Amino acid sequence: CCLRPFSCEQGLLSRPDGSAAFLQGDTSVLAGLYGPTEAKASREQPDKATLEVLLRPKTGLPGVLERSREQLLRQSCQEVVLGGLHPRTSVTLVLQVLNDAGSV
């Protein structure tokens, strides 16, 4: 048994405010971060930014598994995003699975 090699590259996309590609073995995910932007009134938090995570599968529409992973990622990343610096805003993390060989 051996570990699959892991690598990360930053700044691959021009439109997002930040982007990165994560590769582990034959699994690859592309991430784009947008924000802070104006939050929808229903999701606005007066003391910090709202973090939204969108996970897109390689093919098809997002299902229950993707929604579950989005929630896990949102909980994990909530502490990393310095939302207190930008209250009443929204930060969106979009993840696109490019290839899934079991490491997503």
Neighbouring residues of 7: CB distance < 8 A, sequence distance ≥ 6? 22, 23, 24
- Examine residue 104 and state whether it is found in any structural domain, yes or no: no
- Examine residue 89 and state whether it is found in any structural domain, yes or no: yes
- Examine residue 77 and state whether it is found in any structural domain, yes or no: yes
Would you state the structure tokens that stand for residue 95, as one six-digit string?
């993840």
Q: What is the pLDDT of residue 89?
A: 93
Note the pLDDT tens digit of each residue in 5-47. 899 999 999 999 999 999 998 999 999 999 899 988 888 888 9
- Examine residue 87 and state whether it is found in any structural domain, yes or no: yes
The total of structural domains in the chain comes to 1
Query: Which residues form the domain of 90?
Result: 6-99
- Examine residue 1 and state whether it is found in any structural domain, yes or no: no
Question: What's 23's domain CATH number?
Answer: 3.30.230.70
pTM for the whole structure: 0.86
64-to-17, 18, 67 alpha-carbon distances in Å: 28, 27, 5
Q: What is the pLDDT of residue 61?
A: 92
